[in-house]
A and B are shown apart, each in its own frame.
Chain A
């Protein structure tokens, strides 16, 4: 679907800050408050805007116990539906965060979150690798997140400019 420049601009802004005040968003895009509401509603209805999420650095939270693994999955595609069918069987598991169809050495990249390595391991051995179409899996646990969705976690950029300059 084609979007106009105003709609694209709204998307570019809220992609980095979905909590922005709508009045500010209206000012920034030179639209009226009601126009912005209409635009957002339209984009939500079209499911271009799917959900508003928050990037959290859980590693900073002592109470958080969780691990993330990226799993390379090789599968046998099915006649007529290709990879979509097996992808669907995988993404329906609540442990699965993301599923991507990949080019290259394997077919599906599956990101799984669990409370412990054991939990992820048993998901892979009992649920994922036992699916009919799955030929093989390779599991990589994430050790540390440096940057996620365009956000660098350990970054406090101070303004190094002089206060007043010509």
Chain B
């Protein structure tokens, strides 16, 4: 009989994602309209899919260089320069990864010594804190508030810094709040980062989905190129989630160190996906523009509708999530989401799974067809009438 648990203490102590539980609930019901999907409703454009098929027909089925196809890295370099005004050499500053998730993982594992702290700004993507833990670091969470539009303030950042702080992990536009940090806000945060000689890991996976203000990369802020690791990829802007293709851009010293980890742990990102991404960068920018417009319309529609029905919702500048407050119902976000699912068959994600400051909110993805959104909103309006007098 086996007496020992073979699972490491670190992993055993990790909490499973709260989203998983909700997925199980929703997946077992018929007729659910889902606002719970964290990925585009667009299928990858045909030109990109066709390029991938062609690469298979041509026999590109072997490994690529560890850092990815040089041609793809060159395109990424051009793209970063053109879109975000930041310069990275394809030779030694860009690594193509298996999704932005792997990029985050190798970034954290590359920079962290055991016990070093990473400031994680909540509400945020569910994987951030666990990734820090798995890399041997300690996640130090900072709670942003609705009153500040879920923006990290310089005071909050400064207060969270300790002698053990190594880096700040920030996502803008943000999942789940949709909040985008403007250039001035980034500059103020950058001043503190520089003062304390920290690194920034900037998750810019939603950079293409900014609707009101032009997106500013953290690396584009004066003096930040040398202390920022930029995480980006093809999943959201190019509607390529299932291809699992991301990339990371960093100063040479960090990038070369990350490449060591990447070559031992992953070898290289899938070749077929790299060929698809190459096509996306070369000829896909118009598709990105059209998708952005389409999300923007739906953002306007859902935010206005929420506010009209009494769900107080700040205007999210980017990504494809609305994050309305459900406080006036008196329910917790988990109660609200469960009741909404069982009574009206609408799936949303309770805000507390994204961090304690997400409590009192629900994440509603508007990456769904207008018909689906209209139906979901009709049901939610009825739900609100039944539960608020």
Beta-carbon contact of A27 and B304 below 8 Å: yes
Alpha-carbon distance between A82 and B163 when the two chains are bound, in angstroms: 81
Q: Which of B23, B297, B301, B304 contacts A163 (CB 8 A)?
A: B23
Q: Is B39 a contact of A159 with CB atoms below 8 Å?
A: no
Complex Cα spacing A63 to B125, Å = 55
Give residues of chain A (127-166) contacting chain B, Cβ–Cβ below 8 Å. Answer: 157, 159-166
A160 to B241, CA, bound (A): 12
B40-75 CB contact bits vs A (8 Å, 1 = yes)? 010100000000000000000000000000000000
Residue B182 interfacial (CB < 8 Å):
no
CB of A61 to closest CB in B, whole Å: 24
Closest A-chain residue to B368, C-beta based? A159
Q: Of A24, A27, A157, A161, which is within 8 A of B37 by CB? A: A161
B297 and A29 contacting across the interface, CB-CB below 8 Å: yes
Nearest chain-A residue to B24 (Cβ)?
Answer: A164
Contact A163 B34 (CB under 8 A): yes
| Chain A residues closer than 8 Å to B37, beta-carbon distance | 161-165
B38 within 8 A of A: yes
Is the beta-carbon distance between A30 and B34 smaller than 8 angstroms?
no
**Does A28 interact with chain B (Cβ within 8 Å)?**
yes
Q: In the complex, A165→B35 CA distance in Å?
A: 10
Partner of B22, one of A24, A159, A164: A164
Q: Are B126 and A163 in contact (CB under 8 A)?
A: no
The reply to whether B300 and A27 form a contact with Cβ atoms under 8 Å apart is yes
Of all chain A residues, the one with the shortest Cβ separation from B25 is: A164
Q: Which of A159, A160, A164 contacts B36 (CB 8 A)?
A: A164
Q: Please report the C-alpha to C-alpha distance between residue A165 and residue B32 in the assembled complex, in whole angstroms.
A: 14
Q: Which single member of A12, A159, A164 contacts B23 (CB below 8 Å)? A: A164
* Pair B36/A28 contact, Cβ less than 8 Å: no
Interface status of B17 (Cβ within 8 A of chain A):
yes
The chain A residue sitting closest to B126, CB to CB, is A166
A102 at the interface (CB under 8 A from B): no
For the residues of A in contact with B, the DSSP-based class is: loop
Give B365-386 as 1s and 0s: 1 = Cβ < 8 Å from A's Cβ atoms.
Answer: 0000010001000000000000
CB of A143 to closest CB in B, whole Å: 23
> Is A157 a contact partner of B34 (Cβ separation < 8 A)?
no
From B32, B41, B298, give the contact of A161 (CB < 8 A): B41
B297, chain A: closest CB distance, angstroms: 4
Which residues of chain A in 13-56 are interfacial with respect to chain B, using CB atoms and an 8 Å cutoff?
Answer: 13, 17, 24, 27-30
CB distance from A38 to the nearest CB of B (A): 18
Asked if A9 is an interface residue, CB under 8 A from chain B, the answer is yes
Contact partner of A28 (CB less than 8 A), chosen from B38, B43, B300, is: B300
Q: How far is the CA of A158 from the CA of B78 in the complex (A)?
A: 36
- Residues of B347-362 at the interface with A, using a CB-CB cut-off of 8 Å, are 347, 349
Contacts of B304 in A (CB 8 A): 27, 30
* Cα distance, A160 to B127, chains bound together (Å): 23
Among A13, A27, A164, contact of B34 (Cβ-Cβ < 8 Å): A164
Contact present for B300 and A166 (CB under 8 Å): no
Is A163 a contact partner of B293 (Cβ separation < 8 A)? no
Would B374 and A164 count as touching, CB distance under 8 A?
no
- Chain A residue with minimal CB distance to B371? A17
Contact A12 B293, CB 8 Å, known A30-B300, A164-B23: yes
Given contacts A165-B23, A166-B127, contact A9 B41 (CB under 8 A): no
Interface flags for B311-341 (1: CB within 8 Å of A; 0: not) read: 0000000000000000000000000000000
Task: Kindly list 17 other residue pairs between chains A and B, CB separation below 8 angstroms, not including A28-B298, A163-B37, A166-B17.
Answer: A9-B293, A12-B293, A24-B374, A28-B297, A29-B300, A30-B304, A159-B41, A160-B43, A162-B37, A163-B34, A164-B19, A164-B23, A164-B36, A164-B347, A165-B37, A165-B38, A166-B19
Q: Write the residues of chain A forming the contact surface with B, with a CB cutoff of 8 angstroms.
A: 9, 12-13, 17, 24, 27-30, 157, 159-166
A-B contact pairs, 27 of them (CB 8 A): A9-B297, A17-B370, A24-B374, A28-B297, A28-B298, A28-B300, A28-B301, A30-B300, A30-B304, A159-B41, A161-B37, A161-B41, A162-B37, A163-B26, A163-B32, A163-B34, A163-B37, A163-B347, A164-B26, A164-B27, A164-B34, A164-B36, A165-B39, A166-B17, A166-B19, A166-B126, A166-B127
For the complex of A and B, the 4 pairs showing the least CB-CB separation, nearest first, are: A164-B36, A28-B297, A164-B23, A27-B304
Task: Give the A-binding residues of B (Cβ under 8 A).
Answer: 17, 19, 22-23, 26-27, 32, 34, 36-39, 41, 43, 125-127, 175, 293, 297-298, 300-301, 304-305, 347, 349, 370, 374
